[in-house]
């Protein structure tokens, strides 16, 4: 067999690596670990969500649409998603500031403050809701400061915003903080040496490096806020068309033994949340390609 024929035969018989499979790794076991990951995710996430959608499917598409478009459900969905988005954006700003202070400055009580950031993770949500309601009521320590201006926080949509900011702040701080710690300070110094102002350094040097982590924190805070129940019901007032959240409406449907209606509302929330998080993930991937932090 000639060399050309041998080379051609080798090219034809050499298997092509599919783009869907991973590159070779020094550690074996992709098949086992991949199967375990898919099985675990299926049992914990995919199968329960499929059952939820199937239960809502008992109503049919027309039935789901009819339940989702009732005025009370629409109002509850608007309260949940719009206030959750507002809380996530506020946490994006102030969570970044908190992370910046914890990373760049040393001061008495720093470790205590750093540990306090994680309190919303450990504190039962009902306890958090009761504490916030007591603080922000018109006769509370903080709410009484706004009472002379006829500003009510507790038992209004503003109270929901406070509760969602409280439970979402740690997600932003803990995702941004490691990136700030790994960010080379010499890059900031070089920017200043080249004549950049502090604002230019933050906007053009620091912020691009933080963007992927910041988007991750915002997505986590938003996802947690949308499904939050315990800390919200104590401070929201729970008034239909005003301060009623969608999770509370689902619980109300369950108490009325309207399981299909509850599943329909949950399915709508699932669809909206999935599309929103998918958009955030796409924006995160774009930012990594754009700023070279892939």
Buried b (16+ CB within 10 A) or exposed e, 115-153: eebeebeeeebeebbebbbbbbbeebeebeeeeeeeebb
Per-position pLDDT tens, the chain of length 294: 555 554 444 444 444 545 555 565 555 677 788 888 899 999 999 999 999 999 999 899 999 999 999 999 999 999 999 999 999 999 999 999 999 999 988 999 999 999 999 999 888 888 999 999 999 999 999 999 998 999 999 999 999 999 999 999 999 999 999 998 887 776 766 776 777 777 777 777 778 888 888 999 999 999 999 999 989 999 998 999 999 999 999 999 999 999 999 999 999 999 999 999 999 888 878 877 776 554
CA distance 125 to 173: 19
What is the structure's pLDDT at 113?
92
Sorted by sequence, the CB contacts under 8 Å of residue 180 that are 6+ apart come out as 99, 100, 103, 104, 210
What is the structure's pLDDT at 13?
46
Q: What angle do CA 8, 9, 11 make, to 5 degrees?
A: 65
Sorted by sequence, the CB contacts under 8 Å of residue 233 that are 6+ apart come out as 129, 245, 248
On whether the CB atoms of residues 99 and 214 are closer than 8 A, the answer is no
């Amino acid at each position: 067999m000639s060399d050309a024929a041998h080379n051609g035969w080798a090219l034809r018989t050499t298997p092509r690596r599919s783009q869907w499979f991973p590159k070779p790794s020094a550690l074996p076991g992709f098949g086992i670990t991949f199967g375990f990951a898919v099985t675990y995710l299926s049992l914990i996430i995919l199968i329960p969500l499929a059952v939820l959608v199937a239960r809502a499917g008992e109503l049919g598409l027309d039935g789901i649409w009819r339940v989702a478009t009732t005025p009370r459900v629409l109002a509850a969905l608007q309260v949940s998603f719009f206030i959750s988005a507002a809380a996530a954006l506020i946490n994006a700003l102030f969570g970044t500031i908190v992370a910046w202070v914890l990373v760049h400055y040393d001061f008495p009580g720093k470790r205590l403050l750093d540990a306090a950031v994680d309190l919303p993770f450990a504190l039962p949500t009902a306890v958090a809701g009761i504490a916030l309601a007591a603080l922000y009521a018109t006769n509370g320590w903080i709410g009484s400061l706004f009472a002379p201006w006829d500003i009510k926080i507790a038992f209004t949509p503003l109270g929901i915003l406070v509760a969602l900011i409280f439970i979402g702040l740690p997600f932003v701080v803990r995702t941004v903080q490691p990136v700030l710690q790994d960010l080379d300070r010499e890059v900031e110094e070089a920017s200043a040496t080249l004549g950049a102002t502090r604002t230019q350094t933050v906007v053009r040097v620091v912020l691009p490096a933080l963007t992927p982590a910041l988007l991750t924190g915002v997505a986590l805070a938003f996802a947690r806020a949308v499904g939050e129940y315990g800390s919200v019901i104590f401070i929201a007032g729970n008034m239909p068309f005003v301060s009623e959240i969608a999770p509370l409406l689902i619980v109300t449907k369950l108490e009325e033994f309207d399981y299909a209606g509850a599943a329909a509302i949950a399915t709508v929330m699932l669809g909206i949340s999935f599309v929103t998080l998918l958009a955030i993930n796409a924006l995160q991937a774009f930012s990594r390609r754009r700023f070279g932090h892939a």
